[in-house]
Amino acid sequence: MTRPILGIETTCDETSAAVLDERGEILGLVIHSQDVHRVYGGVVPELAARDHVRRIEPVVAATLGEAGVARKDLGAIAVAAAPGLIGALLVGVTWSRAAAYALGIPVVPVHHMEGHLFGPVLEDPDAVPPFVALLVSGGHTLLLWVPEWGRYHLLGETRDDAAGEAFDKAARIVGLSYPGGPAIEKAAAGGDPGRYPFPRPLLKRKGGARTGGGGRAGDFDFSFSGLKTAVARTVAEVEGGGGGRGKQPGGGTVEGTPLEAERSHLAASFQEAVVDVLAGKTLSAAEAVGCRRVLVGGGVAANRALKERIREGIGPGGRLFAASPRLSMDNGAMIARAGLFRLRLGDFGGLTGAVAGAPIPGVLAYAPQEA
Ligand code: KG4
Ligand code: ZN
């Protein structure tokens, strides 16, 4: 295909479109982050779907305008078809099918998490396999060994909450706004990460990864719900402590409620625990696979502490690939880039229409001999 590709993303609470040329260069990109959910402290699915309906046409029009590309010049439309909120997904998929039918061009259904794998390569041509990938978003936590595009060996995943979800829930518990990840990172900047010894779930487990023989050692699996409970318990203790002044590590005091006084320390201690677990498991996986190239993708990959810790761990001989924060969060460009790959391959990984839950295409159990 030599004509530009349009990418559409509406899986959750971003309405985004991008136009890429056939080499994967971004010609235009617009991301509309929905604001309607803020007062609820989390995404309300019906409100998300309705806002996508309102926004998709103006977002696409603005993207094409920025790219200087007319609809009739498009060669294909890639759309995030799974996984996500079904009402939200249906808006993007239905719009894309209708537009592609009218234009007489193909629709490429893309798995949202495969899109995140293609985020870093939008800005860095070296961000290609082989690498160990940590995909951390609001709905997923996946650790993959990626010897080549389209072959994804599952090393581990979350058993309960996703990493981004843990940030969002912890933020809510300590009284910060949605989305919680950026709010926690900002609050943590002034806090003491050692103040509260929150648990590091499943971090100490050692041994093999999931094996091709059907074994599920699960040593690279994650669990974040216990951590959330620990934060809630600590907040209850802090609030129960009474008094209008909180003690600061330096001996000073700040005005306000005890929770306000402790908020930055709670945020810093929570972030430290999550980073310890995510970076620790990623680095052990890189060692187990024997590959010092690591990619982080998904909204949580915007977190600086996480990237710094992984970069330190892999050392000067290794490489860490991460997109800029704008391309780490949900966006149409990563969907278009993954769509280019799928279109060239001529294989959409079994995806056809909108599906709320679907495994990443090409996912395989980890078989060490294939590493
Ligand atoms: O990939 P993404 O934009 O949407 C989903 O596919 O879910 O990820 C959103 C998640 C949210 O849970 C948000 O709190 C988290 O990414 N996030 C962060 C940061 N920025 C966004 N988590 C930690 N630190 C950040 N700086
Ligand atoms: Zn995402």
- Poorest-confidence range of 35-44, 265-274, 317-326, 344-353? 35-44
210 compared with 304, residue with greater pLDDT: 304
Residues with CB under 6 A from ligand 1: 12, 137-139, 164-165, 167-168, 179-182, 185, 298-300, 302-303, 329-330
At 251, the pLDDT band (50, 70, 90 cuts) reads: very low
User: Tell me, what's the pLDDT at 242?
Assistant: 54
DSSP, res 300: G
Q: Which amino acid is at 181?
A: G
**Displacement of CA 225 from its chain's centroid (Å):** 18
Helices (H) and strands (E) in the chain, counts: 10, 13
124 compared with 36, residue with greater pLDDT: 124
- Ligand 2 geometric centre to CA of 15 (Å): 12
Q: How far apart are CA 101 and CA 93, in angstroms?
A: 12
pLDDT higher than threshold 50 for residue 358: yes
At 254, the pLDDT band (50, 70, 90 cuts) reads: low
- Ligand 1 geometric centre to CA of 346 (Å): 31
| Contact between residue 270 and residue 220 where contact means Cβ atoms under 8 Å apart | no
Q: What residues form DSSP beta bridges with 157?
A: 142
Q: In what order do the strands lie in the sheet with 26-33?
A: 26-33, 14-20, 5-9, 76-82, 107-111
User: Tell me, what's the pLDDT at 212?
Assistant: 43
211 compared with 277, residue with greater pLDDT: 277
| pLDDT tens sequence across 13-35 | 999 999 999 999 999 999 999 99
* Mean per-residue pLDDT of the chain: 92
| Contact between residue 38 and residue 51 where contact means Cβ atoms under 8 Å apart | no
User: Tell me, what's the pLDDT at 204?
Assistant: 75
- Poorest-confidence range of 84-93, 204-213, 292-301? 204-213
Ion ligand 2: residues, CB within 5 A, are 137, 330
Instruction: Tell me, yes or no, if the pTM score tops 0.85.
Output: yes
Most confident by average pLDDT, 38-52, 230-244, 284-298, 355-369 = 284-298
